[in-house]
Amino acid sequence: MKRTTSPAGRKAIRGFEGDRLTAYPDPATGGDPWTIGVGHTGPEVKRGMTITEAQSAAYLIADLAKFEAGVNNLCPVTTQAQFDALVSLSFNIGLGNLGKSTLVKKHNAGDYEGAARQFVVWNRAAGRVMAGLTRRREAEARMYRGLAA
C-alpha cells in the first residue's frame, strides 16, 4: 500500500521546518543550500529570493510527493506513524542518506526499536551536533514509535 503523509505528519514537518517566504541560508554552513518555504531547497533557491504563500504551499506538495515516493520504495511496510517519521527525516537528510542508513536496514529487518534508536544519529550538520536537530530527531523517534511528536 502506498502511503501519504498524514495531517499530523505534515503538521510536524511544518513545525520542524517553519514556513519562510524569504530565502535563508543553511544554519550549519551560513550559505548553501539556501532554503525557502517549508524546507524547500533546489538550484532555483538563491539569496534574496521571495515567494508567496501559494508558492510555498506548491513547493511543499511537490516536495512531499517526492519524499513519500522515496519512503514508500525504501520501506514498503510501515505503520502510518513510522511513515510520517521517515518522511520527516528524509525531508531533512535526503533520500540518498536515508537509503544508505542503518535505520532503514533495521526497519526493513523488522527491528523497529533499533530503527527508532537510529534517528538521533542524524543530529549533525556540517559535522557539528545541532541542538535543533537533536530535538527534531527525538521527536521523530517518538513519532516513529507511535507516540506524540
Interatomic CA distance for residues 52 and 130, integer angstroms: 29
Listing DSSP states for 22-70 in one string gives EEE--TTTSSSSPEEETTEESTT--TT-B--HHHHHHHHHHHHHHHHHH
Three-class secondary structure of residue 2 per DSSP? coil
Per the residue annotation, which of 17, 53, 68, 113 is the catalytic one?
17
17 included as an active-site residue: yes
Which residues are identified as catalytic? 17
